[in-house]
Amino acid sequence: RRPVVAAALLMTSLGFLAQGLSLSLGLSFETFLWARLLTGLFAGCNPIFKAYLADVCPPNRLPQFMVYREASATLAFVIGPSLGGFLASSALGSAGPLLATAAAHLVACGVVAGLVEESVGARRASATKASNDSPEKAEEDGDVKWLLILLVFAMSFVYVIGQTCFSAFFPLLMTDRFGDSPRRIGVVSTAFSLVALAFQVFGYRPVHKRLGLFGTGALGALCIGLGLAGLGTAAAPLWVAATAYALGVASFPATIPTLLAGAVPSSRRGLALGVDSIVNNLCRVIAPLLLAVLYARSSGLCFRTAGALMLLV
């Protein structure tokens, strides 16, 4: 997995560099789009990160480390906008955030190539030892739980619908319902991101210890569903609904890669998580269009529909 991640980070670094240079040198918009395309072709590392964690983490601690991975992404969403705004207002202009991202990806490439151990060899050695010690266990590890895989893919698809609803239409909802300014929307969004981050770091472990993987995932899905439904109901306090949503997205997402990692042999984890990423990306193409049709009819209908789907999960 290490050479794949290192190569992908190197190519995305070059892609962001090309984007930044196309802006700073005043090249054509078509050139910028080609640079974006190059970057996007290599920007699918998340499934590999999840597969790596599944390789190196003990199964009983895997959900916690998946949540830490989610927490790192949440922290990036908290820091990134402020840092990007600062760089965009510097002498580098609009190319600043892109050039900084290129540098960050290049550093990450060096870290992965030079410091991160390969997980596949350790995984195979562990599998060989398990096979020698317990043939029954090795045979069980080779099973593919197709029903569980399809169920997880469906859960992942529905979760992305809810996630898309909030990320795409929550700012619009605040503008339409409350007349909030972009600055106010940014402050509120950052505040709820901090709520999610705090729960991921401090709250997930005790909840998971008490409820287990399925109970924690079900509670997270319930919070997301109720939060979205509450945002679609004018009488519900916005801060209550948005807090419920934030707690849900802090606790539910780790359920999906953890279940997938246990539903396939270790040699197919990367493939299964990659297919899940494809399912998510297809949903991110379709969901905004369908949700926009619902929002055009009624903002409440849009959020309540997404909430109802998450309650099914």
Closest CA to 175 of 262, 107, 241, 238: 238
Residue 139, pLDDT score: 38
Model confidence pLDDT, tens digit, residues 213-228: 999 999 999 999 999 9
Burial of 105 (0-12, 13-18, 19+ CB in 10 A): buried
What one-character-per-residue DSSP string does 227-263 give?
A: HHHHHT-TTS-HHHHHHHHHHHHHHSTTHHHHHHHHH
Check if the beta carbon of residue 160 is closer than 8 Å to that of residue 309. Answer: no
**Largest Cα–Cα distance of the chain, in whole Å?**
66
Tens-place pLDDT, residues 28-59:
999 999 999 989 888 878 888 888 888 888 88
Q: Given a cut of 80, is residue 125 above it in pLDDT?
A: no
Task: Tell me the CB-side half-sphere exposure of residue 169, using CA atoms within 13 A.
Answer: 28
At 141 the pLDDT is: 52
Using alpha carbons, select from 286, 283, 189 the residue that is nearest to residue 243.
189
DSSP SS3 for 143: coil
Predicted confidence at residue 121, as pLDDT, reads 57
Q: What is the DSSP letter of 264?
A: S
Asked if 53 and 22 count as a contact pair (C-beta separation under 8 A), the reply is no
The answer to whether the beta carbons of residues 287 and 165 sit under 8 Å apart is: yes
Q: How confident is the model at residue 100 (pLDDT cuts 50, 70, 90)?
A: very high
Type of residue found at 260: L
Contact assessment for residue 54 and residue 261, using Cβ atoms and an 8 Å cutoff: yes
Is residue 51 within 8 A of residue 269, CB to CB? The reply is yes
pLDDT digits (tens, 9 = 90+) for 238-263: 999 999 999 999 999 999 999 988 88
Q: Name the residue among 64, 131, 151 with its Cα closest to residue 265.
A: 131
pTM of the predicted structure, to 2 decimals: 0.79
